[in-house]
Structure 1
């Protein structure tokens, strides 16, 4: 598979630019750790070789073993509250001292409280919960529940979507770099084009995306046996934000055809969009909601599936049955996360930060021709770099140059689809820190523009 094909979910780490970055590291301890990591870990795309060796993390910052600090605008989307938030750590330590683990067949107050709080912030009819150790597992549970409830095993998903790395998750995912060499995957998956307006499969002059929902209905009617449609509320990797009209049309189609709508909000849930969950920004409600990542407060692996009481019918099968199904420390971390977001009014803060980001990034676009498109919601933004605004040819090399220039300054983010700078800072970031990061980013893009021209 080509380097460009591998540049999908994240930036490639085998390019010549990555080699130059690695060889530029002069700290011996860092080089030793990177060599040992490469020696002992099984190599895989986007993970090996590593970018740097970390020693600590606090707030919005990562610190490497040489003492260099990075503002983390990536964080694998677990860092809504940054790293080592004192209230999260206190909650975990308190729980560890009392009940560190709960075997299956037992419940406990922390788990019940956590489930209750999740149904409260989800609102509507999402009042049933199952926990799991990670988002991929939750996606698997959702697919199983949809099959059981509808009696229809087929699933519709979107090209370029990411739902996890297990075999069932990559079966419904749409990124080729995860399916390469895997052979036959889960049968009964139909993929359709995502609602992309900037360079979509079926662009419209009026910038509409509702017709992509019509394609969903066409496939449901032609294929038959469709039990579920799974999609991210907002595609996280390269930040594709559908319109409210699109999502309302999807909801209507699923209702009329008795297809369950599964929204994967694993990377964006817990406030990143300025709402607890992304679907709330579009005025709809899914039948099944998958959440994770930030749910564990940036410390504990924790995920959950939420659904409606009417689907509480799979009592004779095991949808999850995970060893850490009702993890006391995971539930304690999730409860503390909810509490901090509410106490610090972070949802309102994120919506205000979104206005600043939109204004700042649009101003960059107006004067920097390498920027083809700006899109985002809350504290999730994508900057698409192009060689020419008319042809929209992806500026792969420019995107890499910008990323490494920012890393050198102390700003870490990832590149998606080879040319999209994806920015997802912690929700606790101050306006001053956000402005400084945007200064560094603008300087990097401007310097690359000058080199290109």
Structure 2
């Protein structure tokens, strides 16, 4: 095994910045100006996996695309999941600029109309009595607030979550998530006592294609482990696109009710139309007790996140859950409210469902034509292509995935590779049919090149 293969295997998310092809890409495709800026980036930022070293230097982001300082354009199928309404939406920019000129900040112990309007809108979108909101600036903070609230409501301090699910990156949220990548070299991260369980994976894992066994495991654990107050999970797992059945989530909801456990759904990366509904849990006809939002909630312009919970829990006034400096940011509220209005006014939920059928058909055709594709799975505008060397053994085709990525980058398509062999595709909901066709054709060309 060479050093590149060791690096790909060592890193759970298998980020390309650790392998030699990354530097080769920069040397072959970057001009002198870009290389100079990349060198300065390396000089001044603390290097960390998943973000450094960088692939390129950007100067513009608009609609479904990115543009580098050298003028190269990429159709962006990643976007850190903030680009549901596309980049630089003129309506968000206009409203944010107007707000900046009137009230750019709202200090603690004050409120403002934009924050109230935004909270009211979110409450109107959520079902039944999910009417209580707290705003913050990061998904990590939203999860942390949810965990504190669950402990206060139930009086129980333990949390159940799935292995391999990432619930963002602060020390307390890392201790709850079961993603080993985020735990590496962090020491004893146990601010929250967590029971991790194997997830209901459809293509790999010990419960492969057997959700009933996963449900048995969950109930067995809940029946034996005292003081579990919360079950935290992504409704649909984002990074490698795992989609449980409707029955699975209905049974989990029933088990939480039976054992007095609050269901916390992390939809930081998958809400706001990504799956074809405003919230992913709407696919399953269930309700969470606490919902966490983030990423695209600020329209790709402002760092905006939120926790939504039930009126029932509105009796803990002495408890400080977040006390965020930018909790009621009028700028963030305007960005968030405008984002939701755009999703509604431009019928982006309907658009995502329409494109779902087209993307599924295109990827399934690729699977028929390319034996390297072991599995295609997706929902709305979130898709995963799992590459394997052999469909029977399911050995990961990590080196091939990396070659495909760099070919696509060269041709103008950007996406992320997770777990070494899963191509994750999440375009802007506003992407045009022509752009979608171009992107999928580039991907198909890349698959043909590595056969």
Same fold (TM over 0.5): yes
**Distance apart, 1:399 and its partner CA:** 0.5
**Distance apart, 1:115 and its partner CA:** 0.4
Give the one of 379, 382, 385 matched to 1:380: 382
1:163 aligns with 2:167: yes
Give the one of 169, 176, 195 matched to 1:172: 176
**Matches of 2:128 and 2:354 in 1, distance apart?**
25
Tell me, yes or no, if the aligned pair for 1:135 and 1:303 is still in contact at 8 Å.
Answer: yes
Tell me, yes or no, if the aligned pair for 2:146 and 2:290 is still in contact at 8 Å.
Answer: yes
Query: 1:307 corresponds to which residue?
Result: 309
Tell me, yes or no, if the aligned pair for 1:5 and 1:176 is still in contact at 8 Å.
Answer: no
How many residues in Structure 1 have an aligned counterpart in Structure 2? 446
Provide the secondary structure at the position in 2 that maps to 1:92: helix
Query: 2:153 corresponds to which residue?
Result: 149
**Matches of 2:202 and 2:9 in 1, distance apart?**
21
1:200 aligns with 2:213: no
**Matches of 2:304 and 2:112 in 1, distance apart?**
16
Q: 1:377 to 1:301 in 2, by over 3 A?
A: same
Q: Deviations over 1:219-272 (max 9, x none)?
A: 111111101010001110011111111100100000000000000000011110
Q: 1:61 to 1:91 in 2, by over 3 A?
A: same
Counterpart mapping for 1:16-415 below 5 A: 16-186=20-190, 187-203=192-208, 207-415=209-417
**Distance apart, 1:20 and its partner CA:** 1.6
Tell me, yes or no, if the aligned pair for 1:6 and 1:12 is still in contact at 8 Å.
Answer: no
**Matches of 2:283 and 2:434 in 1, distance apart?**
27
**Matches of 2:30 and 2:124 in 1, distance apart?**
51
**Matches of 1:357 and 1:92 in 2, distance apart?**
33
Q: Deviations over 1:341-363 (max 9, x none)?
A: 11110000100100111111111
Give the one of 12, 23, 31 matched to 1:8: 12
**Matches of 2:285 and 2:11 in 1, distance apart?**
33
Tell me, yes or no, if the aligned pair for 1:128 and 1:309 is still in contact at 8 Å.
Answer: yes
**Matches of 1:124 and 1:296 in 2, distance apart?**
24
Cα root mean square deviation, aligned: 1.2
**Matches of 1:15 and 1:25 in 2, distance apart?**
16
**Matches of 2:10 and 2:296 in 1, distance apart?**
26
Q: 1:359 to 1:110 in 2, by over 3 A?
A: same
**Matches of 1:127 and 1:9 in 2, distance apart?**
36
Q: Gaps (5+ residues) in structure 2?
A: none
Provide the secondary structure at the position in 1 that maps to 2:362: helix
Provide the secondary structure at the position in 1 that maps to 2:16: coil
Provide the secondary structure at the position in 2 that maps to 1:241: coil
